Amino acid sequence: MRAVTKQKRMRCSFQSHLEVLKISSNIYPENEVNKTKSTLIKIKKSHALLKNEAIKRQTICLVNTIMTL
């Protein structure tokens, strides 16, 4: 039961990140969005080296979701 609650919380967190990014992508010029995407790629690569599997999966999942915007 606790895993389901935690999963829902994570989903809400991802959803709020997505909303912020959608709003910011409408506000900021295209080159700023591209800079953000390149930064996210760097984060994804560096987090792939993490030993903590849970954090690594969450980070990669979040970055992949953001990149699809």
**Nearest C-alpha neighbor of 27 from the set 36, 14, 16:** 36
Cα separation, 69 vs 61, whole angstroms: 13
- For the ranges 11-20, 43-52, 55-64, the one whose mean pLDDT is highest: 55-64
Residue-wise pLDDT tens digits, 9-45: 545 555 666 666 665 555 555 566 566 667 777 766 6
- Does residue 61 carry a pLDDT above 60? yes
- Does residue 8 carry a pLDDT above 60? no
- Does residue 57 carry a pLDDT above 70? yes
Most distant CA pair in the chain: distance in Å? 44
Please give the pLDDT value at position 18.
60
Please give the pLDDT value at position 58.
73
